[in-house]
DNA sequence: CTGAAAGCGCTAACAC
DNA sequence: GTGTTAGCGCTTTCAG
């Protein structure tokens, strides 16, 4: 690898220049592949010295001068969540293949913490930001725009629409899913979700279910609310109910509760919804569910952001929906 | 928030100095809380200007001068893995609470890619590195040591032992788990694992099972090998077998295979092992399993690394085991 | 108590 | 083709 046996201090461009008998400028030109007017001889000499010394330019210094850090800030609402993991996987495939690196922060879904972290990213001179916003109002993120920093939203929209958001095709896939379900089999319909208000995705999914079930009414159970578990069991006990779960964690919970209540799926209750794990087929009879293309969403976020950074263009506000896959099994 | 309506360029320390009628030096002193010899008046004035201008120092520039980037490099073998997610969660709790930020890279378990990423982190002037190594030989990481960069290993040891590694108490917890199992119930014992060779953790777990079952022999099935699925079904069919799964993904796979083969757990086969998801209770009868304290491992890694960085001391090589929890259910 | 000046490692006019 | 010079935004002697 051309590495010396022991090396303490970083070698600098100056040392390379000295050893090669040229100026820093020339070395810098070499580094930045500006060969257009450079004698093959010097070029070769510099190359040799760089290898001998195992010289690697300091990104810090380059960034300070060139205003490009090759750092991307990523703020996620919960890094331990499977959805987030897959999103990050997709991003890292795009960024790391190129020379970009991600600084990843976990906002815990808390708006104040999120603001703090966003500011830190700006302090760090990141070239762009990918954000899964904890707030639903665009105003919270206006200051990023003011800084002229490219920003792209993951999964969740903010209002009024101001940035490009990339996520699942919630409405379309839910509509397709319900086309496959024989609604007459059910006497009541329930959406189970984490609290709707702060997250556009949850609202959109709820609305899509409402639309799909119309004119039948749709109940909403928000996990964490008073007696929500009991509410599920009550509904399941009263009439044949279809439970639509807004994400994978919720689905796991619902299945657990129904199992404890000794309800048979799909004979006594129906269960469907979003499955972040792609593994509900392990559970019970196999759950008919929506599998999100999470990695591809992550990759798309990264690609779009890079393009915006490199072209210096502002991303067009709006929602880019990546199509989901419906996994038909036997839970409904 | 003290933010102006529109601001394009970052404000610099020079502008603050000008507005406050002092020199950059004094502002810098203020920023670094060197108040010892500074008149309350100037202090107040600087404070006011900083707030009015919403000035925030550039980390880039600070780092270039002070040799402290407040950046930590984290290289993980697979970022979409649940174990990794929880590790990162634990780390982020420690780092982000303080003013540290993580650059996270996914090595895909590939040694070459990993080397490349580690070098990039060095280029970026990170203050320390947390690594879940893809290779098992310490030699691969010697160059980090040569750079005087604090390094700490997550979950996996390298040989010869050269750095502090923090992970699960594999041997101890496996020994405790087997104390709870009535070995006489089984006629054969099998460890199912991803390929053993490159990862110390997998080897250690296998050895611990061998020790616990002695003098009975222990079969080893490496997933991905020729006909490994069939091997599982064959063993299960021949005699009453206990399957020990080396991690959560493997356990999911084993359960899936056994289910397809119509084997009843625990009547016909026993299943136990490590469960990264803390959710195998959703599956079948509830799986007796080992739940790793993954978040705490992540936090411990972060804490130890920070301490090493701040004290300028080298971490003592060795293995720090964080105790796991055994979840006794009914699968064995 | 405060400031001038040098410099961290690099890039980019502008000369020659 | 290549070098000189002047910074990027900050910290830190060293003087006063």
Residue A1 pLDDT grade (very low, low, confident, very high; cuts 50, 70, 90)? very low
Strand D, nucleotides covered by protein (CB < 7 Å):
1-13
Nucleotide in closest CA–C1' contact with A35: D1
Q: Does residue A273 carry a pLDDT above 60?
A: yes
The model's pLDDT over A85-128, given as tens digits with 9 standing for 90+, comes to: 999 999 999 999 999 999 999 999 999 999 999 999 999 999 99
Q: Does residue A6 carry a pLDDT above 60?
A: no
Q: How far apart are the first and last CA of chain A?
A: 59
Q: Is the CB of A211 under 7 A from strand C?
A: no
Q: Is the CB of A66 under 7 A from strand C?
A: yes
pLDDT at B279: 62
- The partner residues of B74 in beta bridges, in order of sequence, read B104, B130
Q: How far, in Å, CA of B38 to CA of B25, rounded?
A: 12
Whether residue A215 is preceded by a cis peptide bond, meaning omega within 30 degrees of 0, is: yes
Strands (E) across chain A are located at 71-76, 101-106, 128-131, 151-154, 164-168, 188-193, 218-222, 241-245, 269-274, 289-291, 318-322, 325-327
- The partner residues of A75 in beta bridges, in order of sequence, read A105, A131
Q: How far, in Å, CA of A200 to CA of A294, rounded?
A: 17
pTM: 0.94
pLDDT at B156: 98
pLDDT at B310: 93
> Quick one: average pLDDT of A38-43?
91
CA of B11 to C1' of D7 (A): 17
Q: How far, in Å, CA of B221 to CA of A57, rounded?
A: 46
Secondary structure in 3-state letters for B46-87? HHHHHHHHCCCCCHHHHHHHHCCCCEEEEEECCCCCHHHHHH
Say yes or no for a CB contact (<8 Å) between A143 and B3: yes
Which chain A residues are closer than 8 Å to B60 by Cβ? 60, 63-64, 69, 124-125
pLDDT at B9: 74
Chain B 30-89 residues whose Cβ is under 7 Å from strand C: 36-39, 41-43, 61, 64-65
Say yes or no for a CB contact (<8 Å) between B85 and A84: yes
Say yes or no for a CB contact (<8 Å) between A146 and B252: no
Which chain A residues are closer than 8 Å to B82 by Cβ? 82, 85
Q: Tell me the shortest Cα–Cα distance from B215 to chain A, in angstroms.
A: 34
Q: Is the CB of B29 under 7 A from strand C?
A: yes
CA B216 to chain CA mean position, Å:
34
Report the chain A residue with the minimal C-alpha distance to residue B86: A80
Q: DSSP state, B159?
A: B
- What integer best gives the mean pLDDT of chain A? 93
Strand C, nucleotides covered by protein (CB < 7 Å):
1-13
Say yes or no for a CB contact (<8 Å) between A120 and B104: no
The model's pLDDT over A175-198, given as tens digits with 9 standing for 90+, comes to: 999 999 999 999 999 999 999 999
pLDDT at B320: 98
pLDDT at B329: 85
Say yes or no for a CB contact (<8 Å) between A96 and B106: yes
pLDDT at B332: 79
The model's pLDDT over A218-232, given as tens digits with 9 standing for 90+, comes to: 999 999 999 999 999
Q: Give the closest residue to C2 (Cα–C1′).
A: B26
> Nearest CB to B283: which of A7, A123, A283?
A283
Per-residue pLDDT of chain B (332 residues; tens, 9 = 90+): 333 344 567 899 999 999 999 999 999 999 999 988 788 999 999 999 999 999 999 999 999 999 999 999 999 999 999 999 999 999 999 999 999 999 999 999 999 999 999 999 999 999 999 999 999 999 999 999 999 999 999 999 999 999 999 999 999 999 999 999 999 999 999 999 999 999 999 999 999 999 999 999 999 999 999 999 999 999 999 999 999 999 998 998 898 899 889 999 889 999 999 988 766 666 666 789 999 999 999 999 999 999 999 998 999 999 999 999 998 887 77
């Amino acid at each position: 690898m051309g590495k010396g046996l022991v090396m303490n201090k970083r070698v600098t461009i100056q040392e390379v220049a000295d050893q090669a008998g040229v100026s820093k400028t020339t070395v810098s030109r070499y580094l930045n592949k500006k060969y257009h007017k450079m004698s093959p001889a010097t070029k070769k000499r510099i190359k040799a010295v760089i290898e001998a010394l195992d010289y690697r330019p300091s990104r810090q210094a380059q960034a300070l001068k060139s205003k490009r850090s090759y750092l991307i800030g990523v703020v996620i609402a919960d890094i331990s969540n499977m959805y987030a993991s897959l999103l990050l996987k997709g991003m890292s495939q795009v960024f790391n293949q190129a020379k970009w690196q991600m600084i990843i922060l976990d906002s815990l879904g808390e708006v104040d913490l999120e603001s703090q972290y966003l500011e830190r990213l700006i302090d760090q001179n990141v070239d762009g930001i990918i954000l899964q916003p904890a707030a639903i109002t665009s105003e919270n993120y206006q200051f990023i725009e003011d800084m002229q920093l490219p920003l792209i939203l993951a999964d969740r929209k903010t209002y009024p629409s101001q940035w490009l958001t990339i996520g699942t095709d919630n409405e379309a896939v839910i509509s397709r899913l319900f086309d496959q379900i024989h609604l007459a089999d059910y006497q009541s319909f329930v959406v189970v979700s984490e609290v709707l208000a702060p997250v556009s995705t949850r609202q959109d999914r709820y609305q899509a279910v409402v639309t799909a079930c119309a004119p039948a009414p749709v109940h909403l159970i928000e996990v964490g609310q008073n007696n929500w578990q009991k509410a599920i069991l009550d509904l399941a006990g009263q009439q044949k109910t279809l439970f639509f779960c807004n994400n994978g964690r919720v689905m796991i919970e619902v299945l657990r509760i129904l199992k404890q209540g000794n309800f048979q799926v799909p004979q006594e209750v129906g269960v469907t919804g979003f499955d972040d794990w792609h593994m509900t087929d392990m559970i019970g009879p196999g759950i008919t569910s929506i599998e999100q293309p999470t990695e591809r969403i992550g990759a798309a976020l990264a690609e779009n952001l890079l393009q915006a950074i490199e072209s210096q263009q502002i991303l067009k506000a709006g929602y880019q929906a990546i199509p989901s896959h419906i996994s038909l099994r036997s839970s409904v």
